[in-house]
């Protein structure tokens, strides 16, 4: 009876294979439908490929990792799974009777972001000697979002905590108003010191640039030329004044001589 049952099952599989041979092996639906999934870090997400015929095997690939799933020839479901490389993060799901290959990924991490590739191989009966199994593929794009930080402030305004993904990553504790004021002024001092440091750096850069392009030398030459011009102008003025003095003295001498002649 058992042999007859197995023989009947084999005949049924062959008939189904021959009936479906005319239909091309193809992907009919996916989950998500648009092959794009956006999940929060720490959550679980599902990827699924659904074809129009029975599946021999299915492989999920991500980066350098892969998850291999093999199904029984009689269409009874999954018989072999190799997903240990994912550190038990993946649960194999899906309905074999509906030609579905599905996985559930737990505890999503940023490293899970990127392209996940589904490769599904068509089931072909061993009695179908000339049949060649077809393979269809579909790419899924997954984006794992890191949770936004949440700032928590107690009613007294003294204790401040920053939480990301339900965990406190930084915390400021205060016991009285004085400590809160000290933290406030400490932050101001740090920002002021940083501003002074930036100013010093800018001055140093300006000096280097001026030296590089000879601005100091140009300014020095210009100041020296101004000084020489001033000296020359002073000399000219002094020479004119001396000549005027000489003329005045000569006139005074003539007048003195004439006066002395009249007296005598």
Measured CA to CA, the distance from residue 250 to residue 80 in angstroms comes to: 131
At 194, is the pLDDT very low, low, confident or very high (cuts 50, 70, 90)?
Answer: low
48 and 113 within one domain = yes
pLDDT tens digit string along 137-147? 999 999 999 87
Average pLDDT, the chain: 72
In a domain? residue 62: yes
Tell me, yes or no, whether 177 and 223 share the same domain.
no
How much of the chain, in percent, has pLDDT values that exceed 70?
49
Residue 20 lies in a domain: no
Question: Are residues 104 and 31 part of one domain?
Answer: yes
- Quick one: 60 and 128 in the same domain? yes
pLDDT of 104 reads: 92
Is the pLDDT confidence value at 80 over 90? no
Look at the block and give the residue holding tokens 């009876």.
1
Model pTM? 0.51
pLDDT at 117 exceeding the cut of 80: yes
d(CA 145, CA 163): 16
As given in the structure block, the two tokens for residue 114 are: 């990127």
Structure confidence by residue, pLDDT tens digits, 195-253: 787 888 788 888 877 777 666 566 665 655 545 555 556 655 666 566 666 666 666 55
The domain tally of the chain equals 3
Question: Which of the listed residues 93, 114, 145 is the one where a domain comes to its end?
Answer: 145
Higher pLDDT, 82 or 189: 82
71 and 182 housed in the same domain: no
Residue 27, pLDDT above cutoff 50: yes
pLDDT score of 89 = 86
Q: Is residue 228 part of a domain?
A: yes
The Cβ-side half-sphere exposure at 215, using a 13 Å CA radius, reads: 8
- 34 and 141 together in one domain: yes
Give residue 136's pLDDT band: very low, low, confident or very high (50, 70, 90). very high
Q: How far apart are CA 110 and CA 60, in angstroms?
A: 18
Average pLDDT over residues 66-71: 86
Q: Are 181 and 158 in contact (CB under 8 A)?
A: no
* Residue 240, domain extent: 214-254
Domain contains 6: no
DSSP of the chain: -HHHHHHHHHHHHHHHHHHHTTSPP-EEEEESTTSEEEEETT--EEEEEEESS-EEEEEEEETTEEEEEEE-TTS--EEEEE-GGGTT-EEEE--GGGTEEEEEE-S--GGG-EEEEEEEEEP--TT-TT----EEEEEEEEEEEPPPPEEEE-TTS--EEEEETTEEEEEE--SSHHHHHHHHHHHHHHHHHHHHHHHHHHHHHHHHHHHHTTHHHHHHHHHHHHHHHHHHHHHHHHHHHHHHHHHHHHHHHHHHHHHHHHH-
Asked whether residue 31 falls in the same domain as residue 140, the answer is yes
């Amino acid at each position: 009876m058992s042999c007859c049952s197995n023989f009947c099952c084999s005949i049924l599989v062959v008939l189904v294979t021959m009936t479906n041979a005319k239909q091309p092996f193809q992907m009919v639906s996916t989950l998500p439908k648009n092959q794009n999934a956006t999940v929060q870090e720490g959550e679980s997400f599902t990827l699924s490929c659904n074809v129009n015929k029975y599946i021999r095997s299915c492989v999920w690939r991500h980066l350098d990792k892969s998850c291999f799933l093999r199904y029984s020839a009689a269409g009874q479901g999954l018989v072999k799974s190799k997903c240990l490389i994912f550190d038990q993060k993946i649960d194999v799901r899906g309905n074999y009777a509906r030609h579905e290959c599905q996985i559930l990924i737990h505890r999503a991490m940023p490293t899970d972001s990127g392209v996940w590739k589904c490769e599904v191989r068509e089931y072909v009966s061993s009695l179908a000697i000339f049949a060649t199994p077809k393979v269809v593929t579909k790419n899924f794009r997954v984006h794992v979002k890191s949770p936004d930080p949440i700032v928590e402030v107690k009613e007294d305004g003294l204790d401040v905590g920053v939480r990301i993904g339900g965990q406190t990553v930084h915390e400021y504790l205060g016991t009285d108003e004085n400590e809160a004021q000290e933290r406030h002024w400490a932050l101001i001092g740090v920002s002021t010191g940083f501003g002074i440091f930036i100013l010093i750096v800018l001055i140093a850069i300006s000096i280097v640039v001026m030296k590089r392009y000879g601005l100091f030398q140009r300014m020095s030459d210009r100041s020296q030329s101004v000084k020489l011009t001033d000296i020359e102008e002073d000399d000219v003025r002094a020479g004119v004044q001396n000549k005027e003095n000489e003329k005045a003295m000569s006139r005074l001498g003539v007048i003195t001589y004439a006066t002395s002649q009249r007296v005598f």
